[in-house]
Structures are given as structure tokens and as C-alpha cells.
Amino acid sequence: MEKFCLVYKAGAQDEGKLLRGFLKERQISKAALIDIKFNGGALLVNGSAVTVRYVMNEGDTVEVFFPKEEPSDDLSPEEMPLDIVFEDEYVLVVNKPAGVASIPSREHRYGTLANGVLGYYHSKGIHATIHIVTRLDRDTSGLMLIAKHRHAHHLFSLQQRELGVKRRYEALVHGEMSGEGGSVCGTVDAPIGRKETSIIEREVREDGQHAVTHYEVLRAEEGWSHVSLRLETGRTHQIRVHMAHINHPLLGDNLYGGEELAGMVRQALHSCELSFFHPVEERDMTFRCELPEDMRKVLG
């Protein structure tokens, strides 16, 4: 895949429009058009090169070729087994294991999911860099959404602003969370900001960013509970901070007051469901994956 390409068909409602406006309606930004013009992209109508001032006719076929992307020199490709749940030419959905960072950092420059995905791209001849839409903490497992091109990433970013990318997690937390009938649902609406004494840790604080987590107890035992959680916002460490805030820290999460229990040596958090509207295929998609072995062992 040398260049990322999108194809559109003009309808009766597009007659007489400038190509610039036609593409704006399809959320192709002015910055993307400049990139196309100066960095090796192309705009074709019915197979011929045109400019954005072209006047549209009903039935026109528009092809938008974006420039080839090059990954950052700071990111090196690596061979890595990937659990690919779904892939097409626009998106990649991967089930990330615990213990693998999403992107390189000072502490983990290599062996990250980004390194592995870039290695996979190289092996398949895909000329793209890494565009992670939904990132996970190093010790959180589960589904991650990755866009294969910056424009696809842009479309997902617009969707995220409207809460169009939905995630459901399952966690094991300290304490027996139960209500009448043995089940309980609730919402934690508490702003999150960086803790002043740490560059890593977050906390609930009045001047933090708006953060909302919805939870439902799936099972409650003496000493721990199995909880389903949905995010309305996506702050760093949001679930971990919010559950600790209501005095139910995640098992194994020693950063936020959790302790090792029943063999859980990392935060017991798994991204088990991912839903989004495919911005190119224009259809709703939902993916699920089962809990990893360490969490299943606790559940018995």
C-alpha cells in the first residue's frame, strides 16, 4: 500500500460544487489538502488530475490519494506476535497483553505495541506510521484501536469528541460491592489531574479534567468484586483513580492502593469490548475478547 486512497461518487446534490467544498463535507481538512498538494498526494476526478477549484458534476468519481507516510526515526520496527482481532486497509484492532506498553517512553523504548505494529506493517508492505486511537496502560490488557493513516485517525478523533468510540472494561476490585438484590450500578463523576508529588500518578482534584466512569457489579465475593465499567471520558489512569477514589482499588494496582490477591500481580483491568462507527465503510462495528488467564483464575 504505497498511498492511502479514498474514493467518492458525486450525487445530484453535488452538482456545481467546488471540489474543495465537496471534500470539506467529507471531513478532509485544509491541512490535509495542503499536504496532498505539496507532499506527493493527488486529487483525481474521473481519472484525471484536478485542483480543488474543479466544479463537480453528478456521477463524478473522486479519488483522493494521500502522501505516503514515514514513521518517526525514534520508532523502530520489531518482530512481535500480535493478536489481531480485526484488520482492513483503514483500521487495526489488537488484543494487547498485559506487560506491553502501548508506545515507547524513557523507561520502555523497545518492545512496545507500537514497535510490534510497525514491524507488522513493514512485513506486509504497509507504508504507514502508528496512529493509536485508544491507548492502554502497560499492565492493562485488551482491545486497542489503531488507525492505519493520519486521515483515518483524524476521523476517529472527531468521533471521539462525540463519544462515538465506546469502550467497556472489566476489573477486579477490592471490597464487596453489592446492593439490594446482590447487584449495584453507579457513576463516578470526579475530575482527575496530575498529583503534584508525582510525574506518573493521578488523583481526583477540583482543578482536574472532567472525568466520568459508569460501573456495574457483575459479581461480589468476600474481599473482592468483579465489575464492568464504561468510560464517558478518557483521562490517564481514569478507571484506576476513580475506583480508588470510592475505596475499591483494583487488585494488584499498588500505585493506587491495590494489593496482590489470588495471584494478581498487575492491575486487574481488561478492555473487553470496543465499539465504533467505521468512518470509511460507514457501519457500526463491535468487538469483544474474553478475560485473560490471570483474571479468569481469580473468578474460578
**Could you please report the per-residue DSSP string of 176-233?**
----GGG--EEEEE--EEE-TT-SS-EEE-TTSB--EEEEEEEEEETTEEEEEEEESS
Terminal alpha carbon distance of the chain: 46
3 pLDDT more than 80: no
Could you read off the pLDDT of 25-51 as tens digits, one per residue?
A: 999 989 999 999 999 899 999 999 999
Domain ranges of the chain: 5-65, 69-162, 167-271
In tens, the pLDDT along 230-247 reads 999 989 999 999 999 999
Assign a CATH topology to domain 167-271.
Pseudouridine synthase (3.30.2350)
Task: Give per-residue pLDDT as tens, 161-194.
Answer: 887 899 999 999 999 987 545 568 999 999 999 9
| pLDDT band at residue 73 using 50, 70 and 90 as cut-offs | confident
Write down the residue that cell numbers 520489531 correspond to.
Answer: 78
Average pLDDT over residues 208-228: 94
**Within the chain, what is the greatest distance between any pair of CA atoms?**
70
Active site residue 137: yes
Which residues have CB under 8 Å from 294's CB, separation 6+?
A: 98, 263, 264, 265, 266, 268
- pLDDT score of 70: 82
- Can you give the pLDDT at residue 206? 96
Q: Which cell goes with 146?
A: 489503531
Amino acid 4: pLDDT: 86
Q: Are 69-162 and 167-271 in the same CATH fold?
A: yes
SS3 assignment, position 288: strand
Summarised one tens digit per residue, pLDDT across range 112-156 is: 999 999 999 999 988 889 999 999 999 999 999 999 998 999 999
CATH assignment of 5-65, among 3.90.1150.10, 3.10.290.10, 4.10.220.20, 3.30.200.20: 3.10.290.10
What integer pLDDT is reported at residue 161 of this predicted model? 82
pLDDT at position 12: 96
Q: What is the mean pLDDT of the chain?
A: 93
Q: Name the 3-class secondary structure at 243.
A: helix
pLDDT higher than 70, residue 6: yes
Q: Which of 127, 124, 128, 145 is nearest to 136 (CA)?
A: 145
Give me 163's grid cell: 463519544
Q: 179-183, 209-213, 274-278: which has the minimum mean pLDDT?
A: 179-183
162 CB contacts (<8 Å, ≥6 apart)? none
- Active-site annotation holder among 14, 60, 137, 253: 137
pLDDT of residue 1: 46
Return the pLDDT at 2: 60
pTM, two decimals, is 0.88
Provide the 10 A C-beta neighbour count for residue 230.
16
Mean per-residue pLDDT, 254-265: 92
Pick from 65-79, 138-152, 207-221, 275-289: least confident: 65-79
The topology (CATH level 3) of 69-162 is Pseudouridine synthase (3.30.2350)
